[in-house]
Chain A
Amino acid sequence: MDLTYPATAEEFRQRVQSLIAENVPPGFTGTGALERAERDKFARRWRRTLAEHNLLAVSWPAEYGGGGLSPIEQVVLSEELARAGLPHGSESDMFGIQLIGNTLTVWGTEEQKQHFLPRILSGEDVWCQGYSEPEAGSDLASLRTRAVLHDGEWVINGSKIWTSAAQFANWIFVLCRTDPDAAKHKGISLLLVPMDQPGIEVRPIVNMLGEAIFNEVFFTDARTSAANVVGPVNNGWTVAMTLLGFERGASATTDAIRFEAGLERLFALAREHDRHRDPHIREQLAWCHGRVEVMRSRGYQALTRFLRGDNPGAEAAITKIMWSEYFQRETELAMEILGPEALTPDGRGANGAIAMPDPGTANTSRAWVESALTARSATIYAGSSQVQRNIIGEQLLGLPKEPRVTR
Chain B
Amino acid sequence: MDFALSTEQEDFRVAIRRFVDERSPLSAVREAVQTDAGHDTGLWSRMSQDLGLPGLLIPEKVGGSGATMVDAAMVAEELGRGLVPSPYFATVALGVVPLLATVPSGIGAGVQADVLTEVAAGGCTLTTAMTEPRAANSLAPVSLRATATGGRTTLTGRKIQVIDGHTADKVIVVAVSAEAESRYGFYLVDGDAEGLTRTKVETLDLTRPMAHLELDGVPTTRLGEPMSWSEVERVLDRSATLLAAEMVGGLEGAMTLAVEYAKVRHQFERPIGSFQAIKHRCAEMAVELDAARAASLHAAYLASTDDPGLATAAPVALATAAAGFAFAASWDIQIHGGIGFTWEHDAHLYYRRAKADEVLFGSPRQNWLALADRLGI
Contact = CB atoms under 8 A, between A and B. Distances in A.
Interface of A: 1-6, 9, 72, 75, 267, 270, 276, 279, 282-287, 289-291, 293-294, 296-298, 300-301, 303-305, 307, 315, 318, 321-322, 386, 388-390, 392-394, 396-403
Contacts of B365: 283
Interface of B: 1-6, 70, 259, 262-263, 270-271, 273-276, 278-280, 282-284, 286-287, 290-291, 294-295, 297-298, 301, 304, 312-313, 315-316, 319-320, 365, 368-369, 371-372, 375, 377
B291 A294 contact: yes
A358 to B, nearest CB: 24
B280 A403 contact: no
A206 to B, nearest CB: 32
Contact of A401 (B70, B274, B278, B369): B274
Contacts of A294: 291, 294-295, 316, 320
Chain B interface, DSSP helix/strand/loop, else mixed: helix
Contacts of B262: 399
B290 A318 contact: yes
A17 B181 CA distance: 52
A390 B4 contact: no
A307 B297 CA distance: 19
- Closest A-B pairs by Cβ, 3 of them: A300-B3, A297-B294, A393-B279
Contacts of A293: 295, 298, 312-313, 316
Nearest to A291: B291
B279 A297 contact: no
Contacts of A276: 377
A402 B274 contact: yes
23 contacts: A1-B4, A1-B6, A5-B1, A282-B368, A282-B377, A283-B368, A286-B375, A289-B316, A289-B375, A290-B320, A296-B298, A300-B1, A301-B3, A303-B1, A315-B290, A321-B287, A389-B283, A390-B283, A392-B283, A393-B280, A397-B282, A400-B270, A403-B270
A397 B286 contact: yes
B297 A297 contact: yes
A289 B376 CA distance: 12
A275 to B, nearest CB: 10
Given A285-B377, A322-B291, A392-B287, 16 more contacts: A1-B4, A270-B377, A276-B377, A282-B372, A290-B295, A293-B313, A294-B316, A296-B298, A297-B3, A301-B3, A304-B2, A304-B3, A307-B1, A390-B280, A397-B282, A399-B263
A347 B259 CA distance: 49
B70 A1 contact: yes
Contacts of B369: 279, 282-283, 286
A304 B270 contact: no
Nearest to B274: A400
Given A2-B2, A4-B1, A301-B4, A392 B273 contact: no
Contact of B3 (A1, A322, A393, A400): A1
A1 B301 contact: yes
Most buried by B among A270, A293, A298: A293
